[in-house]
C-alpha cells in the first residue's frame, strides 16, 4: 500500500511585505516541486501586505491548475486579520488559517 505524500509546510515568520516576496516565492516554488499537499501556516505571520496576499492567490491558482491541494492552517493574528479585512479580502475576521481560507473573497 502506497503512503500518501507528506505535506510540504510553509511556515513563515514575521512581517510578510513586498521585500520578503522573493523568499516566499522560493518557498512556494520548492513546495510545488515536490509531490503532495502544500500547507501554509499562519502562526508566525505578524503582518502582511497586499502583494503577498496576491502571491498566495497565485499559488492557489497554480494548485488548482496542477490538481494539487493548497491549504491554510494555524492561528491568524489579529493584526493580519484586521489588515485583510481593511483591504477587502475578508468580511469576517478569521481566527484560523482554515477560517481565512473559507472566507477569502474569490479564493
Topology of domain 8-103 in CATH is Transcription Regulator spoIIAA (3.30.750)
Please report the beta strands in the chain, taking only residues with DSSP state E, as ranges in sequence order. Answer: 8-10, 14-16, 38-41, 45-48, 70-73
> What residue segments make up the domains of the chain, in order of their start?
8-103
What average pLDDT does the chain have? 94
Residue 3: pLDDT above 80? no
Q: What whole-number percentage of the chain has pLDDT above 90?
A: 91
Cα 7 from Cα 57, distance rounded (Å): 19
**What confidence score (pLDDT) does residue 102 get?**
94
Residue 26 cell numbers, joined: 522560493
For the whole model, what pTM was predicted?
0.91
Amino acid at each position: 500500500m502506497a503512503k500518501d505524500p507528506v505535506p510540504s509546510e510553509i511556515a513563515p515568520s514575521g512581517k510578510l511585505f513586498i521585500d520578503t516576496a522573493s523568499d516566499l516565492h522560493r518557498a512556494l516554488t520548492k513546495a510545488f516541486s515536490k509531490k503532495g499537499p502544500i500547507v501554509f501556516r499562519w502562526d508566525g505571520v505578524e503582518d502582511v501586505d497586499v502583494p503577498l496576499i496576491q502571491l498566495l492567490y497565485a499559488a492557489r491558482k497554480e494548485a488548482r491548475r496542477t490538481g494539487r491541494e493548497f491549504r491554510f492552517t494555524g492561528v491568524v493574528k489579529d493584526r493580519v486579520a484586521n489588515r485583510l479585512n481593511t483591504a477587502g479580502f475578508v468580511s469576517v475576521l478569521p481566527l484560523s488559517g482554515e477560517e481565512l481560507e473559507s472566507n477569502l473573497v474569490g479564493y
